[in-house]
Amino acid sequence: MIKNTLIIALVIVIIYLYYQKNTKTNVDSNFSELRKEFLEVVKINKTFARFCQQEIGGQDINEIRTKLNGRKLSELLEKLEDYETDVDTLTRKKNELEQDLLAQSNSYKSLVKEKEGIIKRLEKDKKDLQEFSKEELEKLKNTTSSSEPEQTDGEEAAHYYFASTSRRGRGGRKISSTRNSSASSSSEKNSSENE
């Protein structure tokens, strides 16, 4: 019996060792699988941490949550797109307004130049008219003081027409009528002085 008991104990020990060896290999294989999964998770975590630090600007998830202020990243991206669209629209409007302002400025400058040209021309005409009236006054004084015969109406009209056309045709008729009236008034003065 002792012999049988020893054989049975020996078989039990062999079975025990066999199962323990199989369990150890299963544990080893499970351990290697778990180790691979763990290394993958660590790698993903490192990648995510680098992304958070470099792209989002936070050291960890809590800091990123604080920066997001309870909003989702997709919401922020939509607002950013809306903001960029608004900026583009405002930039286009600004450029259009600048072009419009430039066109108005150029138009105003050309208008100012045109008005300055008109003013210069009028000042020149005024100066020519003053010189002409001084010359005519001198002629009338010389005519009335000397006993020269006066010009006939035809000669006087030709003289006034020539003078008015030399000033680019501005106010020729007014000048001639004014001159005729001034000539008649000065001749009346001369006749009253002679009497």
| Confidence check: pLDDT of 101 > 70 | yes
| Confidence check: pLDDT of 121 > 70 | yes
Which of 1-5, 70-74, 136-140, 156-160 has the lowest average pLDDT? 156-160
Confidence (pLDDT) at 100: 95
Confidence (pLDDT) at 161: 52
Given a contact cutoff of 8 angstroms between Cβ atoms, the answer to whether 56 and 68 are in contact is: no
All residues at 6 or more sequence positions from 109 whose CB lies less than 8 Å from its CB, including other chains:
none
Question: Which DSSP helix (H) or strand (E) runs through 170?
Answer: none
As a whole number of angstroms, the distance between CA 28 and CA 36 comes to 12
Confidence (pLDDT) at 102: 95
Reported as a pLDDT band with limits 50, 70 and 90, residue 5 is confident
Confidence (pLDDT) at 52: 74
Q: Nearest CA to 144 among 74, 94, 194?
A: 194
Q: Which of residues 148 and 81 earns the better pLDDT score? A: 81
Q: Which of residues 8 and 180 earns the better pLDDT score? A: 8
Cα 30 → chain centroid: 69
The reply to whether the predicted model has a pTM over 0.85 is: no
| Confidence check: pLDDT of 113 > 70 | yes
